[in-house]
Structures are given as structure tokens and as C-alpha cells.
Structure 1
Amino acid sequence: MQTQKLSVFEKIGFGAGDMAVNVVISSMMLIITFFYTDIFGLKPVDIAILFLVVRLVDAVTDPLMGLITDRYTSRWGRYRPYFLFLAVPFGIAVFLTFSTPDWDYNSKLVWAYATYILVTVIFTAVTIPYISIIGVLTADPKERLSANGYRLFFAKIAAFLVTIIVPIMAKSWGGDDLASGYQAAMGLMAIMATLLFLFCFFSTTERIHYQPDTLPLRSQFKLLLKNDQWLVLCAVCVTGTIGYVIRGSVAAYYAKYYLGGGAELMSAFLSTGVAAAILAMVASTWITKRYCKVRLFRYSQLLVAVLSVLLFVLVEPGDIWLAFVLYFLLSFVVDLHAPVFWSAIAESVDYGAVKTGKRVSGLAFGGISFCQKAGMGIAGFMVGILLAFFGYEPDTSQTSFALTGIALMLSIIPGFFHFVMGLLMYRYRITDQFYQQLLSTQQIPTQPPVAAPKHYQRSV
């Protein structure tokens, strides 16, 4: 019988895949809005519409990709082949997205739409298999949680590289021509992502083989709508992503205009948030071995709301050190939930299979991916509209109203969405104890273990 325990090497390989994914995720969450306004030269309102339109494309491609992964398999497995065959197209799409042609405004806007849609479609085609593969690497929930800890650690490393290296490298390589500098810097990131996907393909093994129900799309949607725990995760994903992306998108503006820094300070501020998130991955893995993962999820997001208020109230323009300290704490607490969330998706799929008697996997993961990108689209639209509302103008001294708006978008506004996210998690009940009982009896436990002792895992 094949062991369900994953080697450290395989966990690293699995993590390499998310490191590749996060070359795009991090750039979209942290620098793409700043790139489009201050480097590419688009108006904030046009960017808002662009982000919203692209999410409409995701409404089709995400569920479609979920269905494809459910229906087709190969000698390499159900999910791994996509890492092999889409690695190079993925890298090319990233490079093109951060290329700025010397055209008139309307032509550049068309280029932005074309390249952003291209990178989004290829991103979907490789990401849906990636977030689904954890369900076939192992059936052990603790191994899944551990693997997701590795995964998210490497994801934050990618974010660290994008935030600390790309702005400095763009300035160093491009000089006064920041457009070519960003193209070269993100081209290097694209090459790295391609190699990481290939490494993920060769280092992982699909141990679990199942035959998903070949149900019509409408029937699968109906089954998913009966999976109350999956629906909770969908709502959590949308609200959390909105908060995360709004904060990440405006961080560069905050460092440049509110704190009054240049490329070095911007890089340092963004990387401070990423460094805190990396430490959060380690801390989360350690905490969830001793404390209820669902409670950690709830309380961390409620605490984010408190820290967000403190950041807005206490930090004045130019108050660099206090801003760094509070932003570090905020970024650390925000990401404590991340390993729990991504391991919870596979568990909610198993829950749905027991509850309905039919397993809907591909569409379930595709739906979560769509929720994440829907949150990104809504957040991007909000950032563009809010920048325009507060009167933001690129590369000029900002009015006090604009600075207040930037501060709100870094703190209070995203903090509200994380508060809602924490409240929603009171509807989620698949703790480790609940999940083990679910697997052992193939029945939904009648007593949700939400009132279990804080250190319940020691007795499992």
C-alpha cells in the first residue's frame, strides 16, 4: 500500500508550483495597479473597468477548466501535465503583460486588455490543476496542512522577490525608462516561474486516483449548492481577497506618497509585508498543531480589523517607523489563516461527497479559483474608482484628501472585509476532529465540534 506521507522533497516541489503561481498573483495584487497608472500610463477609471471585464472572462474559464480536469487524465496523472505543457506559455504571458509598447493611449489600452486577458486565461489553465492536486497527493489531512504550509511559504518567497527585487531592478536596469526596466525585471520573474512549474511536475506524485462523476454541468452546480461548507469558503474567499488585494494594491502608493519615499522605500515597505507573511506561514503551521485551526482563522481576521484601525489612527504622513511596525504586524496576522484555508477546500470537497453521495472536485476547485479572482476583480475595480474619487494624480504631490484616501485603502477599508471574513468563519465547522469522524463513518457528524477544547488535537 502506498504511503500517504509526503517527503520533504515532494513538499518543496509542491511549494515550487505555488511559487510560480505567485509570480502572477503577487504582481497582480501588489504592483499591477501601480504599474498601470505610474508606468504604463492608464487612467484609474480605465484600470477599474479592465479589472472588472477580465473577471467576466474568468466566470467562463474557471468552471470550464474545472470540468476539463475532472474529465481527462493522462499517463502523467490528472493534474501534473498542465505544469509541463503550460510552463513556457505562462512565462511568455507574464512577460507580455509587463511590456509597454510606445503607442497612443487607445492602442496601449487595447494591448493592456489583450495581454491581461491572455495571462489570466493561461493562469487559470495552470492554477486550477495546481490547487486541485493536493487532493490526490495525499489523503492525510495533517500532511495536506503541512504541504500547504510549504506551499504558502514558497508563495511568499515569490511575493518577496516580486516586491523587493522588481522595483529596484526596474530602476537599476531601466534608469529613466522605467517601462523597459519593469519589462526586463518581470521577464526574469517569468523565466523563474517557468522553471518552477517544470520542477513541480517532476517532483510530485499523484497517489490517489478516483473516478469523478461525469455529471452535466447543471447537476454539478446543484450539488455544490448543497455543500454548505464549500459555500462558506466561497464567501470567505471573495471577502478576504477583496481586503487583501485592496491593501496590497495601494501599498506602493502609500510608501511613495503617504510616507514620502522613493523606489528603495517602496521596495522595503512591500517586502516588510511579505516577510511578515512568510513568518506567518511558519507560525500558522506550528500553532495549528496545538490549537484549533478554525478558531485561529476566525480570531486572526477579527484582529486584523483592530490593527487596521490602529494603523489609520496612529500613523501620520511621513511617520515611517511606526508605519513599518504596524504594517508588519498587520501582514503577519492577516496570513495566519492561509494554510488553513487552502487545506480546507479539499476537506470541503470530501464533505460534499459524503453529504450528497456524489463527488464534485474539479468544479469545486474551479469555483474557489473563480471566487479568488472575482475578489481580485472587485478589489481592482474599487481601487481604480477610489483613486479617481480621492483625486489621485501620478507623479505629483498629492492633496491631503488623496493622502487620506490612500491611508484608508491601506487600513480601514480592507480591514472591514477581513472583519466580515472572520465572522463568516463562524459558519465553518470542519475541524480536524470533525473531518476524521467524517472519513471514519462516511456520515456527517451530528455534533459539530466547534465547542471542543482549545487543545483538542492532542486527544485525536
Structure 2
Amino acid sequence: MSTVSHKLSVGEKIGYSLGDLAANLVFQTLMTYLAYFYTDIYGLSPEDSSYIMLVVGLVAAFGFNPIIGVLADRTNTRWGKFRPWILWTAIPLGLAALFAFSTPDFSYKGKVIYSIVTYALLLLLYAANNLPYSALSGVITGSMSERNSMSAYRFVAVMAAQFFVQVFMYDLILKVGDGDKAAGIEKLMTILAIIGIVMLLITFFTTKERVIPTPEQNSTLKQDIADLKKNRPWIIMLVLTTLVFITLALKGGSYVYYFENYVSKDSLLVFLKPLEGVLNVLGLGFENATSMGLGVFNAGGIIFMIVGIGLSKRLADKYGKRDVFGVALVISTLFILAFYFFPPESVGLMFGSQILHGFFYGITIPLLWAMIADVADYSEWKNNRRATAIIFSAMMVGLKAGLSIGGALVAWILGAYNYISTSGVAEAVVQPVSAIEGTRLLVSIYPSVFFIIGASLLFFYKINKSMEVQIEQDLLSRRG
């Protein structure tokens, strides 16, 4: 290994974090609005939407990600292994995001085919961009403390993207489209695509790869796969990542249905009346209770997620990533479960529970990817070979599989509870009681199950605080 300083400048941390901000303008839109886009904007049935999201998503997860991981680990350019992928895919990814949320006037069968093709293209390019980007975090620095710090910067950027998508996007879709959701989302995605491309280029130009395997440490694909099979922390993190993103897709994709069909509009207006002046300044006016309420609800959770992210490094440095992650995940789950017991009028309790959930879940956010980088170090420590991208590709398999399963479950569960699509319907639709009950379960019981299972897996994850220190010291000694 090369011996260079592993201390990162603030500028490099910010530059790296902008890549995740760009990626999350796409990812958060997929997680929050893809099911809603298919059912209530493009006019696909919940059943067809569910199949598209599940089948295409799983093909992408188990097909695209391993291939990109293998290719990225074997890429050698004057810019490094992973940075070139960010450069090569910046513009294609922006265009693919725009196409995936466009609404060409095809027949119903044509719409299904168009949705399949554009969603598959988007997931392929997302993998080719975000997997090397994630692997880059494992080679920018070999210092676990610097890695924790960089993860905190990175996920503040993630929260910024999430804040925009979940707070303002629904309202902006209505405004820029003059009430036409299809026109609104196309115009908005055009702007976001341009911004995302610029941010990805900044990431490429401001980062540097420092952890570089020497030629004798290069491995074959067969060796990489054999190493993974023996790496129990990697297996646990793969399953944990899948479960976490099933929950995020389930609850994130359900809130728009929850506010449109379950939460009392009158109670929302009364609860938020004291904030009317501030909301008007932010553009979240009282003319649409659903968009205003959904925006403020998400804003509260995200603001306190950022507070949790700010505490994450300090807690992880003191107690270790594993223990902090597990405790915070369990506590955050309790506040998801609480939604099952709230009647439509209990708006204050809903907002309070969302804020507390956001705070405790925020503590876990930087730790997940830092733990995956630790797993790459663990593999090198045990096997004397480093295969960063293929380890991160496995985690991206978990992320994509979780997103696909969770998103598909949103559409499938709504269909099972007899949800009525509102696409192309001018007048208000009164949903059946079963559909309203389904939306309540989608934001409470169903997502909680996967978080609890994920937390229980950490009992079998052995990289605790003392092992983190040992791995870091041993690897620095070898590289020196």
C-alpha cells in the first residue's frame, strides 16, 4: 500500500458529499414518489406498478450491481479505480432520471413497456455511478476516524436532498405544472437532472484515492467471491442493508397516501395555523392542506435526523458503530409503531412521533456506510487482499433489493386493500375503508417488522469498538 496522509480537508469532505446529494435527488424521488407516480400520475394499476418495481428492481440489484462491482475493482486509470465512473456516468444518469419520470402518451401497454425500460436504464446507471461512489469512501482514507467524519458530512448532504424531495417536491410538482402533476414532475426533474450532473462533476474533481492495493495484492474474481462467503460481517451487513431499505421504501412511499387519505385536513389546518406566516414564506401555503401538512411533517423528521447525524460520530467514537447503531435503530422503530394508534385527528402526536423517530434514526444513518467500509477493512485484514468495490456492490444489492421490495410492497398492499387510483380523475375520490386501513398499516406495523429483524442481526456482528481499533492499527502497520 502507498503511504500518504489520510487526513482529509474540509473541502474534500464537502466535495465528496455533493456526490451523495446528487444521487439522493434521484434515490429519494424513487423511494418517495415512484409508486405514487406510477399509480396516480402515469395511470398504471397498483398491481402492474408493484410488478415493475419488484421485478426490474431485483434484476438490477442482483444483475447490475455485481457486474459493476467487478468492473470497478478492475478499473485502472490515471484518475484511480472509482472516480472515473462518477465522471463517465454523470450526464447519462441525469438524462435517465428525467426519462423515468416522463409521461409520454402511449397506450396502456405502451406505458407499461416504457416504464420497464426507463426504470431499468435508470437503475443500471445509478449502479454504475453510486456503487463506485460508495466504494470511493473506502479508499479516500484508511483512517476510521476520518471515515466517520466524512460519513457525517456525506449524510448531511443526504438529508439536504431528502429535505428538498420530501418537504417541497409534492408542492412544487403542483405549482410548476399549474395543477398538472405529469407536467410538473417532468419540469422539476429536468432542473434536478442539471443540478445533479454539476454536483457529480464537482465530486470527481475534488476527491483523491489514497488506499491503493499494490500489484501483488490484486485478486481474482474467484478469490473475491470466496472471501465474501467466509466474511460473516459482510453477510450480516448485506441482510441488514436490505431490511433497512425495505422499511425506508415502505414508510417513505406511503406518507403521501397517508396524508391524502387518512390524516384529517381540518385538524392539519388547525395544528399548523400558528406557523402560517413561516409556511407562506417557504411557499407551503394553506391552499393545499395535504402538500402543506406532508411538507412540514417530513421537514420535522429530517431536521431532527440532521441533529442525530451530528451526534453520530461522537457516539460511534466512544461506544463503537455496532452498539450505537443497534440501540438507536430499536428506539426509532418504537416511534414508527406508534402511528398505528393515532386517530386521524391526532396530528400533534403524529408530528411529535415523526420528530423523535427522525432523531434516533438519524444517529444510524452515517454508521451504516461506515460499517460497510469497516467490513472491507475486515476482509483485507483477514485475507491480505482488498476488494472494496465488490464488497460495496453487495451492499448496493441490499439497497436496491430493499428499495425494490419495499416500493413494490407499497403498491401491492394498496392493491390488496382495494386502493382506487386517482390518475386522470378530476373530482375527489373517496377511498374504501379497507384502503384507508391499508395506508395506516403501511406507515406503522409493516415497516417496523423489518427494522426489528435488522436490529436483532447485530447480535451476530462481531466488529465492535475494540476490533475496529485493532483492524485499523494492524492495517496501518502493514501499509507502512
TM-score by length of 2: 0.88
Count of matched residue positions in the alignment of Structure 1 and Structure 2? 442
Query: Alpha-carbon deviation of 1:162?
Result: 1.5
**Match in the other structure for 1:383:** 410
**Match in the other structure for 1:286:** 314
The amino acid across from 1:322 in the alignment is L
Query: Alpha-carbon deviation of 1:159?
Result: 1.1
CA deviations 1:335-373 (Å, max 9, x no partner) are: 321211111111111212222343332211111101110
Contact 2:333-2:357 within 8 A present in 1 as well = no
Query: Alpha-carbon deviation of 1:229?
Result: 0.8
The residue correspondences of 1:351-362 to structure 2 (distance < 5 A) are 351-362=378-389
Q: Is 1:240 matched up with 2:240?
A: no
The residue correspondences of 1:183-198 to structure 2 (distance < 5 A) are 183-198=186-201
CA distance in 1, matches of 2:99, 2:44: 16
Q: Is 1:97 matched up with 2:100?
A: yes
**Match in the other structure for 1:46:** 48
CA distance in 1, matches of 2:66, 2:80: 20
Query: Alpha-carbon deviation of 1:441?
Result: 4.2
Mean alpha-carbon deviation: is it higher for 69-78 or for 392-401?
A: 392-401
Query: Alpha-carbon deviation of 1:289?
Result: 3.6
**Match in the other structure for 2:297:** 269
C-alpha change, 1:161 and 1:305, in structure 2 (3 Å) is closer
**Match in the other structure for 1:301:** 329
Name the SS of the counterpart of 1:288 in structure 2: helix
C-alpha change, 1:368 and 1:355, in structure 2 (3 Å) is same
1:36 to 24, 35, 38: 38
2:82 to 79, 84, 88: 79
Query: Alpha-carbon deviation of 1:217?
Result: 3.3
**Match in the other structure for 1:257:** 261
CA distance in 2, matches of 1:386, 1:99: 25
Name the SS of the counterpart of 2:19 in structure 1: helix
CA distance in 1, matches of 2:80, 2:347: 50
CA deviations 1:2-43 (Å, max 9, x no partner) are: 321111111101110110111111011111111111111111
**Match in the other structure for 1:451:** none
Q: Is 1:199 matched up with 2:232?
A: no
**Match in the other structure for 1:221:** 225
Mean alpha-carbon deviation: is it higher for 274-283 or for 246-255?
A: 274-283
1:401 to 412, 427, 434: 434
Contact 2:21-2:160 within 8 A present in 1 as well = yes
**Match in the other structure for 2:280:** none
The amino acid across from 2:322 in the alignment is V
Name the SS of the counterpart of 1:179 in structure 2: helix
C-alpha change, 1:273 and 1:109, in structure 2 (3 Å) is farther
CA deviations 1:183-242 (Å, max 9, x no partner) are: 111221111111110111111111221147554434422210100111111111111111
Contact 1:2-1:207 within 8 A present in 2 as well = yes
Contact 2:319-2:465 within 8 A present in 1 as well = no
CA distance in 1, matches of 2:238, 2:304: 25
**Match in the other structure for 2:72:** 69
**Match in the other structure for 1:414:** 447
The amino acid across from 1:134 in the alignment is S
Name the SS of the counterpart of 2:319 in structure 1: coil
Name the SS of the counterpart of 2:105 in structure 1: coil
Contact 2:250-2:410 within 8 A present in 1 as well = yes
The amino acid across from 2:443 in the alignment is L
**Match in the other structure for 2:458:** 425
C-alpha change, 1:137 and 1:273, in structure 2 (3 Å) is same
CA distance in 2, matches of 1:437, 1:289: 14
CA distance in 2, matches of 1:170, 1:18: 23
The amino acid across from 2:338 in the alignment is L
Mean alpha-carbon deviation: is it higher for 432-441 or for 31-40?
A: 432-441
CA distance in 2, matches of 1:272, 1:185: 23
CA distance in 2, matches of 1:74, 1:401: 57
CA deviations 1:231-286 (Å, max 9, x no partner) are: 11111111111111101110111122111442222233333333332222112233
Name the SS of the counterpart of 2:130 in structure 1: helix
The amino acid across from 1:326 in the alignment is S
CA distance in 2, matches of 1:399, 1:373: 32
Name the SS of the counterpart of 1:358 in structure 2: coil
CA distance in 1, matches of 2:226, 2:190: 42
The percent of aligned pairs where both chains have the same amino acid is 29
CA distance in 2, matches of 1:238, 1:404: 26
C-alpha change, 1:418 and 1:168, in structure 2 (3 Å) is same
Contact 1:352-1:359 within 8 A present in 2 as well = yes
CA distance in 1, matches of 2:100, 2:115: 7
Contact 1:255-1:269 within 8 A present in 2 as well = no
1:25 to 27, 32, 36: 27
Contact 2:381-2:474 within 8 A present in 1 as well = no
Query: Alpha-carbon deviation of 1:433?
Result: 2.5
Query: Alpha-carbon deviation of 1:442?
Result: 6.1
CA distance in 2, matches of 1:416, 1:326: 17
CA distance in 1, matches of 2:291, 2:107: 27
**Match in the other structure for 1:440:** 473
Contact 1:312-1:408 within 8 A present in 2 as well = yes
CA distance in 1, matches of 2:316, 2:384: 30
Query: What runs of 5+ residues in structure 2 fail to find an aligned partner?
Result: 266-288, 423-428
CA distance in 2, matches of 1:41, 1:211: 54
CA distance in 1, matches of 2:179, 2:22: 29
CA distance in 2, matches of 1:206, 1:405: 48
1:135 to 125, 135, 138: 138
**Match in the other structure for 2:4:** 2
CA deviations 1:143-168 (Å, max 9, x no partner) are: 00110110011011011112223212
CA distance in 2, matches of 1:84, 1:318: 49
Name the SS of the counterpart of 2:154 in structure 1: helix
CA deviations 1:415-435 (Å, max 9, x no partner) are: 111111111111112234212
CA distance in 1, matches of 2:435, 2:168: 28
CA distance in 2, matches of 1:320, 1:326: 10
Contact 1:91-1:191 within 8 A present in 2 as well = yes
Contact 1:16-1:154 within 8 A present in 2 as well = yes
The amino acid across from 1:268 in the alignment is V
